[in-house]
Amino acid sequence: KLSGVSAFDITKIENQFRNLNLCKWENTTKTIPFWSEVLNFTDGNNSFLKIATFFFVISLLVLPISNAEIERIFSHISIIKNEHRNKMNSYMLNAIMTIRAAFRKNKNCCYNYEVQSELLIKIHSNDTYTSINLEDLDFPSFETLFN
């Protein structure tokens, strides 16, 4: 159950939500007039959007959500992947973002980070430059750093 709504109801809500674009709506620029129009809309059978679905959508609209953290992440991405590094693949970007987040979480910096001796040995050997498939690597997701 999600927010007191069963999986069956969620499927019904998703189906009704997908069908919204099949009708021509007049109030499409403002949220409350749009959903009021949707609630009052009736087709040949019954109300287009059931009351439960309407209140589910309205309850989602009033959740206190800030996009400041997402904007901060996009800002970091634009610093890392800029005009000169525009061919960077998503694996490298994820690795750099993960490293930066780990440094921030541990209140550490790349200037005072102590490199392990095993890593230094690998850097000076041919093992560092073996060909690997990036898709086979198990990168930690960015979200797991904060859990």
Assign 130 to helix, strand or coil: coil
**Domain end position, chosen among 47, 62, 77:** 62
Give the span between the Cα atoms of 45 and 37, in whole angstroms: 17
Same domain, 51 and 78: no
pLDDT digits (tens, 9 = 90+) for 79-129: 888 888 788 888 888 888 888 888 888 888 878 878 888 877 877 776 655
**Model confidence pTM above 0.75:** no
Query: What domain range is 29 assigned to?
Result: 7-62
Same domain, 58 and 73: no
pLDDT digits (tens, 9 = 90+) for 29-78: 888 888 888 777 776 665 555 666 777 777 777 777 777 888 888 898 88
Give the span between the Cα atoms of 85 and 29, in whole angstroms: 38
Same domain, 71 and 58: no
Same domain, 81 and 94: yes
Domains of the chain: total: 2
